[in-house]
Structure 1
Amino acid sequence: MELLTDLKAILHSKRANIYYLEKCRVMQKDGRVLYLTETKDENLYWNIPIANTTVILLGTGTSITQAAMRMLASAGVLVGFSGGGATPLLSANEIEWLTPQSEYRPTEYVQGWLSFWFDESKRLRVAKAFQQARLDYIKRIWDKDRELKNENFFIDNLEISSAMDNYAIQIETAEKVGDLLQREALLTKQLYRYAAKATQFGDFTRDHQAADFANGFLNHGNYLAYGLAASTLWVLGIPHGFAVMHGKTRRGALVFDVADLVKDAIILPWAFISAKEKMSEQEFRQQCLQKFTEHKALDFMFEQVKQQAIQNIESPLSAEEGKGEGKHP
């Protein structure tokens, strides 16, 4: 992707950083984007490496200057405003992403997406492909992550392997998106139950308003995944409203579809592990970001969305149109 900037380009799918900031001021100074924290005795400036940043979440007590927004836009960084702890003040609300304005995003992916989106049967097929990819990702990550195994998360556990095998069959037999949603909800409950048992959490009920550590970390981690998903869709030029599974009346629905590709594999287990160890929000966030990078979560999102978008497109782009992220994330 071409951007009007002298920054050394880093493909979005290879970027490593997500920032959550609170009680600070984000500004531009000497050609860099900084955030300023004020203490009683001194003011401290910290640099944000915007060329290697995907998303910035601004929490409570933050402000940002117009000059900083201009630089972030030039580097293709998405900015979102959230409540405390990187989640909305009201859990029913969705973060309003401020997306950079660029005329150089690819067009083939949105055209490919729209070529199937108005056909309900094709939308269902893509929704099924996403759900199967989600299962495959859970199996792959849980099978190779030694830290998860040390925390008693085993993909060959009879309870969890049976639940996933059953869901794989149900994916194929689903006749409408509503069927998938119901069966997905059942699988997620089974994953919650397994995670609670593995971490000796006790009885667990998913409640976005609850104050316990596990629910709070799930909210927090999910919004990190939403940031990656929103960035993926922005880079590929696909509007968030063209969902294949979630909330047809919610304009951010496709963000949820894409985020679901990685949430259960990474966010869900680490939310319970972090709750058991009574981690701080910052420690939990760092753990999630480390695992996103280790398991190439952003690469996986790009791969899946691109694959579904272009599967019916036969004509290749010209070399000029295929530059950057549009051709090779």
Structure 2
Amino acid sequence: MDQLSDLKAILHSKRANIYYLEKCRVMQKDGRVLYLTEAKEENYYWNIPIANTTVILLGTGTSITQAAMRMLASAGVLVGFCGGGGSPLFSGSEIEWLTPQSEYRSTEYMQAWLGFWFDEAKRLTVAKTFQQARVGYLQRTWEKDRDLKAENFLATDLEISSALSGYASQIQNAAKVGDLLQREALLTKQLYRYAAKAAQLGDFVREREASDLANGFLNHGNYLAYGLAATTLWVLGIPHGFAVMHGKTRRGALVFDVADLIKDAIVLPWAFISAKEKATEQEFRQQILQKFTEHKALDFMFEQVKQAALENPPHPSEEGK
């Protein structure tokens, strides 16, 4: 196996690392990708294991060399520019993500996705499937995560179980995507209220521009989830614009659809727990990345997107024939 093949030996869904870097210079040196930090008396080089990395987020005070980008592209690493702490992804520039180019990636999933996407009823069916998967993933994650149980996040709690079961039953009755979005917004409010109570944070209001820790950690964690979603779609070759739920409101909205599969299960509770503990951004980020790995979030995203693409759901009128 040659060196370039070695860099892609680990499947993206199995890679362990997501990096957020700030105040450093990313470069290529002696056949490796390093980041350089400057101290008063000397500089320090740190190695990035690119073959086992999915995403690199470049924050405040960073730069990257052309040679480093060439190696990252060879390893299939997605690179994004962002604000301090990992959020937001810059929207003032057309370049938010630098995606490794490959003319020889399989077109299987992209063609299968487009095979149903132009049918509105089939898009709705996939959106419903994603929302059911989202509920199931939250229930399974909360049921087996001892750390969450210790923080009073219980999937068996009457308040949360009734909210999830109520939403799951409403999903099937949604006649259009707008109905799903309205019911999703209601569920999210219920989850915020439950999380704020479990973390003893009083009356919480979700505001993306707010300066409190819980809102800040939610923003930060969501952008990490967007990185996983963007990586999933890039590897499978599915363009970000072909969304099934958020397409009318957000550019590149399929990233948001896929990230929603895991955000409530992992990002939401740990944002509130970390806010209660007055954690630093670095501590929160390490906790989230650990939980992404522990609960195989990237594997789950790949599984759901591949299944949605290849099953090519039938039109509702064709079901049961």
**TM-score category by the smaller chain?**
over 0.9
- Say whether the 8 Å CA contact 1:241–1:248 is kept in structure 2: no
CA distance in 2, matches of 1:78, 1:136: 28
Tell me what 2:130 maps to. Answer: 130
Structure 2 counterparts to residues 283-322 of structure 1, below 5 A: 283-312=283-312
- Say whether the 8 Å CA contact 2:19–2:55 is kept in structure 1: yes
Structure 1 residues 247 and 273, CA gap change in structure 2 (3 angstroms): same
Tell me what 1:43 maps to. Answer: 43
One-letter amino acid of the counterpart of residue 117, structure 1: W
Tell me what 1:327 maps to. Answer: none
How far off is 1:158 after superposition? Answer: 0.8
> RMSD between aligned alpha carbons?
1.8
Q: Which runs of 5+ in 1 are unaligned?
A: 314-329
Tell me what 2:233 maps to. Answer: 233
CA distance in 1, matches of 2:3, 2:123: 32
The SS at the match of 1:102 is: coil
- Say whether the 8 Å CA contact 1:99–1:234 is kept in structure 2: yes
- Say whether the 8 Å CA contact 2:127–2:244 is kept in structure 1: yes
How far off is 1:252 after superposition? Answer: 1.5
CA distance in 1, matches of 2:173, 2:86: 37
Structure 1 residues 95 and 148, CA gap change in structure 2 (3 angstroms): farther
CA distance in 2, matches of 1:272, 1:238: 33
How far off is 1:88 after superposition? Answer: 1.9
One-letter amino acid of the counterpart of residue 127, structure 2: A
Tell me what 1:257 maps to. Answer: 257
- Say whether the 8 Å CA contact 1:13–1:298 is kept in structure 2: yes
Tell me what 1:110 maps to. Answer: 110
Tell me what 1:179 maps to. Answer: 179
Tell me what 1:16 maps to. Answer: 16
- Say whether the 8 Å CA contact 1:23–1:37 is kept in structure 2: yes
One-letter amino acid of the counterpart of residue 246, structure 1: H
Structure 1 residues 87 and 189, CA gap change in structure 2 (3 angstroms): same
CA distance in 1, matches of 2:3, 2:114: 25
Tell me what 2:75 maps to. Answer: 75
How far off is 1:251 after superposition? Answer: 2.9
Q: Say yes or no: does 1:215 pair with 2:215.
A: yes
Q: Which has the larger displacement, 197-206 or 304-313?
A: 304-313
Q: TM-score, normalised by structure 1?
A: 0.92
How far off is 1:51 after superposition? Answer: 0.2
Q: Which has the larger displacement, 152-161 or 4-13?
A: 4-13
Structure 1 residues 94 and 146, CA gap change in structure 2 (3 angstroms): farther
Structure 1 residues 230 and 199, CA gap change in structure 2 (3 angstroms): same
Q: Say yes or no: does 1:143 pair with 2:131.
A: no
Give the % identical residues: 82
Q: Cα deviation per residue 1:112-143 (whole Å; 9 max; x = unaligned)?
A: 10000000000000000000000000000000
The SS at the match of 1:129 is: helix
CA distance in 1, matches of 2:109, 2:15: 21
The SS at the match of 2:28 is: strand
CA distance in 2, matches of 1:93, 1:211: 24
Tell me what 1:28 maps to. Answer: 28
The SS at the match of 1:28 is: strand
- Say whether the 8 Å CA contact 1:16–1:54 is kept in structure 2: yes
One-letter amino acid of the counterpart of residue 67, structure 2: A
One-letter amino acid of the counterpart of residue 132, structure 1: Q
How far off is 1:250 after superposition? Answer: 3.0
Q: Say yes or no: does 1:191 pair with 2:191.
A: yes
The SS at the match of 2:131 is: helix
How far off is 1:312 after superposition? Answer: 3.0
How far off is 1:247 after superposition? Answer: 3.2
- Say whether the 8 Å CA contact 1:88–1:94 is kept in structure 2: no
Structure 1 residues 251 and 16, CA gap change in structure 2 (3 angstroms): same
CA distance in 2, matches of 1:220, 1:18: 13
Tell me what 1:272 maps to. Answer: 272
The SS at the match of 1:246 is: coil
The SS at the match of 2:7 is: coil
Tell me what 2:161 maps to. Answer: 161
Q: Which runs of 5+ in 2 are unaligned?
A: 314-321
Q: TM-score, normalised by structure 2?
A: 0.94
Tell me what 2:201 maps to. Answer: 201
CA distance in 2, matches of 1:257, 1:199: 27
- Say whether the 8 Å CA contact 1:3–1:75 is kept in structure 2: no
Structure 1 residues 92 and 169, CA gap change in structure 2 (3 angstroms): farther
Ranked by relative contact order (alpha carbons within 8 Å, sequence separation 6 or more), the top structure is 1
The SS at the match of 2:80 is: strand
How many residue pairs were aligned?
A: 312
One-letter amino acid of the counterpart of residue 31, structure 1: G
